[in-house]
Structure 1
Amino acid sequence: MPSAAIDDYLKTIYHHTEWQSADITPSQLAAELGLAPSTVTEMVQKLAGQGLVSHRPYGPIALTQTGRDRAAAIIRRHRLIETWLVREFGYAWDEVHEEAEVLEHTISDRLLEGIDARLEHPRFDPHGDAIPDADGVVHREPFVLLGEAGIGHTGRVLRVADRDPALLRALDAAGIDVGHTLVVTERDAVRIDGGGSVALPDGAAQAVWLSA
């Protein structure tokens, strides 16, 4: 199997449990990857045969330790590249995901570690996702999804999902970015850094995570 295809599967499985605890199902994995369920089932069987995932028929899919280590390594590459593009080349946070998808498979380990050193070993990418260190270890504080935070909850923006560039631009226009403090005033509105109430863009409640 092409290495990039394996990495895409492992990354998607890894992503699914970063900000919630339930393992991914085959149908969810197929939807995330935009592939037919039969294609995904065949690939998952091959990944299980290589010791990268554990899976029983019709059950959820989980990474083995070997699979988790490989996923963390490729995610480290992706997120360091995103951070590099923002800091060194002036990319906006809605522009880096697709670039990093290409570059993560092409740059050498030597260049990657040079990028890490130049950026002074960042722990988070521009969207607030934790960057695994060279050993695959991540550091993340307790969190709550904005849509599940109660009225009156106060928390710093820890992470914003990066898959929808239009939503990222809408959040940026509203002033909602990683590191800002939000107070939930209504189900669809927040105060930012003590300012007035701001309406949430559509989809924000399921794309923003706050400190718990």
Structure 2
Amino acid sequence: MPSAAIDDYLKTIYHHTEWQTERISPSQLATELGLAPSSVTEMVRKLAAQGLVTHRPYGPISLTPAGERRAAAVIRRHRLIETWLVREFGYTWAEVHEEAEVLEHAISDRLLAGIDQRLGYPRFDPHGDAIPDADGTVTREAFVRLADAPLGHCGRVLRVSDRVPGLLEALDAASVDVGGIVCVRGDLTIDVDGREVTLPPTASEAIWLSA
């Protein structure tokens, strides 16, 4: 199996449970990867044979410790590259994902270490996702998803999903960014620096605030 294909599966499984506890199902994995369920079932079987995932028929999929270490290494590459593109080359946070998807399989470990050093060993990427350490360790603070935040809750924007079409551009237009303080005024209404901002419907499930 091509290494890049394995890494894409492991990365998707890892990403699914970063900000919630429900494990990914085969059908969800197929949707995320844009593949036929039969193809995903066969690949998951092979990954399980290699000791990278655990899975029972029709049940959810989990990474083994070995699978999690490998996934974290790929995630680390991806997020360091995204951070590098934003800081050094002027990319916006809405532009970096596809570029990083290509580069994460191409750069050497030596270059990755150099990028990490040049950036000052960042802990988070432009979307607020944690960049794993070289040993796979990640650090996150307590969080609440915007959809679950009570009215009046104020917190820093910790993370914005980069998988929701048009959301990052909409937040740019509203001057909402990772690290900014917002207060919840309604289901899709927040206060940003004294300004009332109405968010698109997709935002409630795609923005995480400090708890």
Scaled by the length of structure 1, what TM-score is found? 0.98
Where do 5+ consecutive residues of structure 2 fail to align?
A: none
User: Is the Cα–Cα contact under 8 Å of residues 183 and 191 in structure 2 kept in the other structure?
Assistant: yes
What letter corresponds to residue 14 of structure 1 in structure 2?
Y
User: Is the Cα–Cα contact under 8 Å of residues 189 and 200 in structure 1 kept in the other structure?
Assistant: yes
- Number of residue pairs aligned between Structure 1 and Structure 2: 211
Return the offset for 1:158: 0.1
Tell me whether 1:61 sits opposite 2:61 in the alignment.
yes
Superposition map of 1:7-156 within 5 A: 7-156=7-156
Tell me the distance in 1 between the aligned counterparts of 2:165 and 2:107. 24
What letter corresponds to residue 186 of structure 1 in structure 2?
G
User: Is the Cα–Cα contact under 8 Å of residues 94 and 165 in structure 1 kept in the other structure?
Assistant: no
Q: Which runs of 4+ in 1 moved over 6 A?
A: none
Secondary structure (helix, strand or coil) at the match of 1:99 reads helix
User: Is the Cα–Cα contact under 8 Å of residues 171 and 201 in structure 1 kept in the other structure?
Assistant: no
Tell me the distance in 2 between the aligned counterparts of 1:86 and 1:196. 27
Return the offset for 1:196: 2.4
User: Is the Cα–Cα contact under 8 Å of residues 72 and 136 in structure 1 kept in the other structure?
Assistant: yes
Where do 5+ consecutive residues of structure 1 fail to align?
A: none
Tell me the distance in 1 between the aligned counterparts of 2:171 and 2:195. 16
Secondary structure (helix, strand or coil) at the match of 1:107 reads coil
Give the equivalent residue in structure 1 for 2:3.
3
What letter corresponds to residue 68 of structure 2 in structure 1?
R
What do the CA deviations read for 1:16-38 (whole angstroms, capped 9, x no partner)?
A: 00000011011111111111111
Tell me the distance in 2 between the aligned counterparts of 1:210 and 1:164. 17
Tell me the distance in 2 between the aligned counterparts of 1:111 and 1:21. 34
Tell me the distance in 1 between the aligned counterparts of 2:128 and 2:80. 12
User: Is the Cα–Cα contact under 8 Å of residues 74 and 104 in structure 1 kept in the other structure?
Assistant: yes
Return the offset for 1:59: 0.5
Q: Aligned pair in 2 of structure 1 residues 85, 165: CA closer, same or farther (>3 Å)?
A: farther
Tell me the distance in 1 between the aligned counterparts of 2:184 and 2:89. 34
Give the equivalent residue in structure 2 for 1:197.
196
Scaled by the length of structure 2, what TM-score is found? 0.98
- Percent of aligned positions with the same letter in both sequences? 73
